[in-house]
Amino acid sequence: MFLLCLQVAVALYGLASVAVLVAVFGHRPRWARLCVAASIVAWVFHAISCTEMLALAHRWMPVGMHEVQSMLALLISTAFLLILWRYRTLSFGVFALPLALLLAFIPALGPDKYTFSSPLVRSGWLFVHIVALMMAYAALIFSLTASLLYLVQERRLKNKRWPGFLEWLPPLETMDQIAQTTLVLGFCGMTVGLFAGSLIAQEQYGAHYFADPKIWLSFLVWGLYVVMLFVRRSTGLRGLRAVYMSSLVFIAMLSVWAANLFSSVHRFGAP
């Protein structure tokens, strides 16, 4: 029964994770209400699951890896709901809800070590992992390019001496929208890619996989991505500062790519 409650909670965490992204970055009040409702119901099912899980084990502290992950996810969602209640803001949910989903997903698959049902299923998740992360890289390149072109067009409009061949550049508002939209797409791609990669990692390597340098660098870049989205959305960041922010995240992503040389799992040419 506790496993079924956890599976319901994971499904609701997934719904809340999608809703919070739309609500925060798209300013959609209906999605905000959906996020709050899904988060509260998910927390209730998750709390029931953890309570029953420990009661069946006749102890009050988690011991196994899956138990620890489930309890940690519950604590994260509890912190999110407390912040939501105290400060009336969903912003923390952009971090908290996907993280709670990631931590609770593997325990929801079963009490024992999870293995993929077939090599085809595993290769499918690997395909999602690679494609989603490559989409994130491509989207950030587009965002950085749009920010640079925004800066060039802004300077051209202020200074009439700039070459006339730059007249083909689109309006400033269009380039700003392109930069913002590709940032959001890149963030979604990185989130999906990290989720799929973490699923494969826990199935094959266990918790030791997360000591790999590329893993914690990837989550660091994910955090920088969120910060940049928040800054752009809250301050309307444009021009040179937007270029600096996009460049910082792009350099960080390049460092993650370079970490393949030092990674025991992602090293180029590794079997």
What contacts 14, CB < 8 A, 6 or more positions away?
101
Go through 121-157 and write b for each residue having 16 or more CB atoms within 10 A of its CB, e for each that does not. Answer: ebeebeebbeebbebbbebbebbbebbbbbbebbebe
Closest CA to 97 of 41, 27, 139, 52: 41
pLDDT at 175: 75
Give the Å distances, CA to CA, from 46 to 5, 37, 96, 150, 215.
6, 14, 15, 46, 27
Domain count, the chain: 2
Q: What is the pLDDT of residues 187-240, one digit of tens each?
A: 888 888 888 877 777 666 655 566 667 777 777 778 877 777 777 766 666 666
Query: What per-residue confidence (pLDDT) applies to 64?
Result: 66
Instruction: Please indicate, yes or no, whether residues 73 and 96 belong to a single structural domain of this protein.
Output: yes
Region 90-107 average pLDDT: 84
Does pLDDT of 38 surpass 70? Answer: yes
Residues 81 and 181 in one domain: no
Round the average pLDDT of the chain to a whole number and report it: 77
pLDDT, mean of residues 235-263: 67
* CB-facing half-sphere around the CA of 66: CA atoms within 13 A: 18
Is residue 266, in this structure, part of any structural domain at all?
Answer: no
What percent of the chain is predicted at pLDDT more than 90? Answer: 14
Residue 267 located in a structural domain? no
Residue 105 confidence (pLDDT): 86
pLDDT at 133: 81
**Structural contact between residues 38 and 51, judged by C-beta atoms closer than 8 angstroms:** no
Neighbours of 223 (CB within 10 A): 12
End residue of a domain, out of 109, 129, 149: 109
Query: Is 214 within a domain?
Result: yes
**Most confident among 2-6, 111-115, 170-174 (mean pLDDT):** 2-6
Q: How is the chain split among helix, strand and coil, in percent rounded to 5?
A: 85, 0, 15
The answer to whether the Cα torsion of 35, 37, 41, 44 is positive or negative is positive
pLDDT in tens, 142-192: 877 777 777 777 777 667 665 555 566 667 777 777 777 877 888 888 888
pLDDT band at 7 (very low <50, low <70, confident <90, very high): very high
175 lies in some domain: yes
Domain hosting 172: range is: 119-261
Residue 269 falls inside a structural domain: no
What distance in Å separates the CA atoms of residue 120 and residue 31, rounded to the nearest whole number? 35
Does residue 9 surpass a pLDDT of 90?
A: yes
Q: DSSP label at 236?
A: -
Q: Which of 81, 109, 137 is the last residue of a domain?
A: 109
45-87: pLDDT as tens digits: 999 998 988 888 777 776 566 777 888 889 989 989 998 898 8
| pLDDT for the residue numbered 269 | 44
Give tens-digit pLDDT for 114-138.
Answer: 556 566 666 777 788 878 887 887 7
Q: How far apart are CA 77 and CA 45, in angstroms?
A: 12
Contact between residue 67 and residue 87 where contact means Cβ atoms under 8 Å apart: no
Same domain, 87 and 24: yes
Residues 100 and 129 in one domain: no
Boundary of a domain, candidates 78, 109, 140: 109
Verify that 134 and 50 share a domain, yes or no: no
Rounded percentage of the chain residues whose pLDDT exceeds 70: 73
Residue 47: its pLDDT value, please?
A: 93
